[in-house]
Amino acid sequence: MECDDVTGGLEFDVESDDDDAINVQESDVLGDISDFWDDLAETSDDQRANPHTKQGSVTEGPNAENGLSRIALDDNKAGMDGLDKQKINDIIFSVSKGSRFYENEARKDEMARKRTERAVQELGRLKSLDLTTERSIVEQLCTKLEAQRDLSKVIVHVDMDAFYCAVEERDDPSLKGKAFAVGGTAMLTTASYAARAFGVRAAMPGYIALRLCPELKFVRPDHRKYSAASEEVRKVFQRYDPNFRPMSLDEAYLDLTPYLSMHPEDTPITVVSRMREEILSETGLTASAGIAANSLLAKVCSDRNKPNGQYFLPFDRESILEFVQALPVRKPPGIGKVTEQFLHALGIRTCKEIWDNRVYLYKLCSAASFDYFMRVVMGIGSSHEDRFGSGPDRKSISHETTFYPTSDATAMRATIRRLSHSLSVEMAEEKIKGNTVTIKLKRSDFRVFQKSKKLMRYLKMEDDIVAVALELLNDELQVNPGIELRLMGVRMSGLASSEVDKNVGIAKVSESSEYLGLIPKHLFSI
Partner DNA sequence: ATACATACC
Partner DNA sequence: TACTGGTATGTAT
Q: Of 94, 101, 463, 500, which one interacts with DNA (CB under 7 A)?
A: 101
Whether 58 contacts 66, CB under 8 Å: yes
Does residue 461 interact with DNA by CB under 7 A?
no
Q: Of 137, 186, 425, 516, which one interacts with DNA (CB under 7 A)?
A: 186
Q: Which is nearer to DNA, 195 or 260 (CB)?
A: 195
Vertex 345 angle, CA 340 and 349, to 5°: 55
**Nearest alpha carbon to residue 320 among 290, 288, 287, 349:** 290
Does residue 452 interact with DNA by CB under 7 A?
yes
Does residue 349 interact with DNA by CB under 7 A?
no
Whether 246 contacts 211, CB under 8 Å: no
Does residue 361 interact with DNA by CB under 7 A?
no
Q: Which is nearer to DNA, 297 or 365 (CB)?
A: 365
Site for DNA in 103-142 (CB under 7 A): 108, 111-112, 115
Q: Which is nearer to DNA, 36 or 458 (CB)?
A: 458
Does residue 436 interact with DNA by CB under 7 A?
yes
Size of the site for DNA (CB under 7 A): 70
Site for DNA in 33-92 (CB under 7 A): 71
Q: Of 23, 27, 185, 410, which one interacts with DNA (CB under 7 A)?
A: 185
User: What one-character-per-residue DSSP string does 106-158 give?
Assistant: HHHHHHHHHHHHHHHHHHHHHHTS--HHHHHHHHHHHHHHHHT---S--EEEE
Nearest-approach distance from CB 110 to DNA, in angstroms: 10
Q: Which is nearer to DNA, 18 or 241 (CB)?
A: 18
Does residue 305 interact with DNA by CB under 7 A?
no
Nearest-approach distance from CB 8 to DNA, in angstroms: 9
Whether 456 contacts 444, CB under 8 Å: no
Nearest-approach distance from CB 7 to DNA, in angstroms: 5
Nearest-approach distance from CB 251 to DNA, in angstroms: 5
- Largest pairwise CA distance in the chain: 75
Q: Of 62, 242, 336, 505, which one interacts with DNA (CB under 7 A)?
A: 336
**Nearest alpha carbon to residue 272 among 231, 312, 315:** 312
Q: Of 89, 230, 294, 339, which one interacts with DNA (CB under 7 A)?
A: 339
Q: Give the C-alpha distances (Å, rounded to integers) separating 151 from 146, 154, 158, 313, 386.
A: 11, 8, 19, 11, 12
Does residue 411 interact with DNA by CB under 7 A?
no
Q: Of 397, 414, 461, 467, which one interacts with DNA (CB under 7 A)?
A: 397
Vertex 328 angle, CA 323 and 330, to 5°: 120
Beta bridge partners of 255: 155
Catalytic positions are: 251
Does residue 95 interact with DNA by CB under 7 A?
yes
Does residue 448 interact with DNA by CB under 7 A?
yes
Query: Is the previous residue joined to 332 through a cis bond, with omega within 30 degrees of 0?
Result: no
389 φψ region: left (φ > 0), alpha (ψ -120 to 50), beta (else): left
**Nearest alpha carbon to residue 217 among 244, 192, 197, 242:** 192
Whether 51 contacts 227, CB under 8 Å: no
Whether 80 contacts 96, CB under 8 Å: no
**Residues belonging to the chain:** 526
Nearest-approach distance from CB 460 to DNA, in angstroms: 15
Using CB under 7 A, list all residues that contact DNA: 7, 11-18, 71, 95-96, 99, 101-102, 108, 111-112, 115, 184-187, 189, 203, 205, 207-208, 247-248, 250-251, 299, 333-340, 365-369, 372, 392, 394-402, 436, 438, 448-454, 486-487, 489, 491
